[in-house]
Amino acid sequence: MRVEFLGGVRTVTGSATLLEKGSLKWLVDCGMFQGNKEYEKRNWNLQSYQAKKLSFILLTHAHIDHSGLIPRLVEEGFRGKVICTKATLDLCEVMLQDSGHIQEMEAEWQNRKGKRAGKGEAIPLYTREDAEKSLRSFQTIHYDEMIPLADGLKVRFQDAGHILGSAIIEIWVDEAGDQKKIIFSGDLGSSDQPIVRDPSIVEEGDVLWLESTYGNRLHKTREETVQELLKIVQEAIAHQAKVVIPAFAVERTQNIIYTLGQFIRKGSIPQIPVYIDSPLAISATEIFKRNPDCFDQETKDLLMGGDNPLEIPGILYTRATEESKAINEDPRSAIIISASGMCDSGRIKHHLKHHLWREESHIVIIGYQAEGTIGRRLVDGASTVRLFGEEIAVKAHIHTLGGFSAHADQKGLLDWISHIRRPQLEVFVNHGEEKVSTELSQLISERFHFKTTVPQWREKRVLFGDGETGVSEERVGKELPPEESFSVLFRHLDRAYKRLRRKLKREKKRGVEIYDSGWLKELEEVSKKLEELESEL
Ligand SMILES: [Zn+2]
Ligand SMILES: [Zn+2]
């Protein structure tokens, strides 16, 4: 079997892996690259996805960083099925069309700007209509169902506890008479997240793709985080100020609605206006209400008891733009939940423009902020940010609350992987920033002695094949940007060093003392050279 890492490696966006078994080719996830111009360029060059030759796409969940390039791939000739859970399809219906709309708006904006600069016409990556058309390729399956997809190939989706409908995908393949199992963790939820269930446990597998968004961090507990949010809201109410919460439309928004609903139901805060100012979040909340079979027990109990966990007395859903603009004219305290979650597009930008410079306002960051986004700049303590071409001072209170995350933290990831009892498990650590994936990879290798790798973008590998799998030759060419060439080289060096150490140790154990002055001299020179290079930097 061959695989190619097409995205979601050394970055959190663009998740996609190409798998090939004989002439059968398929993808697991087909996400959009976001957050930085260099990455976004990749969305336009999908040749290596081989759209026309793919038999199917297995989709872990609806987030755009996993599903966002599906309409584009259909445009490029993909005629197979996109296989996912029903809730994922429901969410993709609104999210992909919304994404198409954003692409159209962006192209329009570029064109307005470009015309003035005398540039050529910008076209959208795909349109709302393309997105709608692509939905016809979707085919839904149930959790825990074993589905044969081709000769010697079957799959099963299990709940990943990340967002509604999210899945861990298990793939069984027959390889030369042997059955092997591949696992894609997808994005894994944290275990005390409300509404959705905890991630399913997987105990067996030969190869694992493991996400690492928070692979080097620990979240505060949900209870601590809830208390922090309560304090922030109470303080805002005391000063008649507003609380602005940038939130991803799916899961995080519903998570916050659930939490604020509890504050009001318990009487911890008075009934104040809570605006859900994101058409996408409103649609997503409706989809949540339509899929109660995906809820965890606590949420089901609330529903049975007559409390809708996704309703708050005083909640105001604003779909129209005029309503959205009026929110900030109201002098009373209010809570504004709006998208995008990383603050770089959508209505949240208007609310930030109104509130960042006000000392009394509170901005509560509850989700992951990718490098290069406005949200990340706020978390990193920027004193000004640029919004709509204007430099805005950051005077408001900026709070970062990690405990609302829809992702498992380092401990959650290690706990989850600890259930897999296969000493020969090979782990590809993906869906994380380079430094984070590398840290988690090292930790897993030390703790569980699994073979771990942080793959390169466009790296190709042979799975279950004879001999050492490795970086494909084409990757070591000189077309690589220097930092990538270095990391390829370092991996080779690292491996060679480890192999040599292992062999020497083995020999020593066998009682063979290797003492070769020629060897020692050569190694001494390598070591000296490395020190020299390091001091030159
Ligand atoms: Zn996700
Ligand atoms: Zn993701």
pLDDT at 480 (0 to 100): 45
Token pair in block for residue 330: 């109201």
Query: Helix (H, G, I), strand (E, B), or coil: what is residue 113?
Result: helix
For ligand 2, the distance from its centroid to the CA atom of residue 24, given in whole angstroms, is 26
For ligand 2, the distance from its centroid to the CA atom of residue 5, given in whole angstroms, is 15
Residue from 423, 422, 403, 425 nearest 412 by CA:
403
Is the four-CA dihedral 343, 348, 353, 359 of positive or negative sign?
A: negative
Could you say which ligand is closest to the alpha carbon of residue 431? 2
d(CA 12, CA 7) in angstroms, rounded, equals 9
pLDDT at 118 (0 to 100): 74
pLDDT at 484 (0 to 100): 54
d(CA 475, CA 177) in angstroms, rounded, equals 32
pLDDT at 472 (0 to 100): 44
For ligand 1, the distance from its centroid to the CA atom of residue 414, given in whole angstroms, is 18
- List of the chain residues with pLDDT < 70: 465-485, 487-488, 491-492
Question: What is the H or E stretch that residue 105 is in?
Answer: helix 86-117
Could you say which ligand is closest to the alpha carbon of residue 66? 2
pLDDT at 114 (0 to 100): 77
The amino acid sitting at 34 is Q
Distance of alpha carbon 503 from the chain centroid? 39
The DSSP output letter for 59 is -
Instruction: Please tell me whether the peptide bond between 340 and the residue prior to it is cis, using omega within 30 degrees of 0.
Output: yes
Neighbours of 230 (CB within 10 A): 17
For ligand 2, the distance from its centroid to the CA atom of residue 206, given in whole angstroms, is 23
d(CA 30, CA 355) in angstroms, rounded, equals 36
For ligand 1, the distance from its centroid to the CA atom of residue 103, given in whole angstroms, is 20
For ligand 2, the distance from its centroid to the CA atom of residue 421, given in whole angstroms, is 26
For ligand 2, the distance from its centroid to the CA atom of residue 529, given in whole angstroms, is 41
pLDDT at 403 (0 to 100): 87
For ligand 1, the distance from its centroid to the CA atom of residue 33, given in whole angstroms, is 13
For ligand 2, the distance from its centroid to the CA atom of residue 211, given in whole angstroms, is 8
For ligand 2, the distance from its centroid to the CA atom of residue 105, given in whole angstroms, is 24
pLDDT at 487 (0 to 100): 64
Could you say which ligand is closest to the alpha carbon of residue 35? 2
Token pair in block for residue 71: 């309409």
Could you say which ligand is closest to the alpha carbon of residue 31? 2
Distance of alpha carbon 462 from the chain centroid? 25
For ligand 2, the distance from its centroid to the CA atom of residue 198, given in whole angstroms, is 17
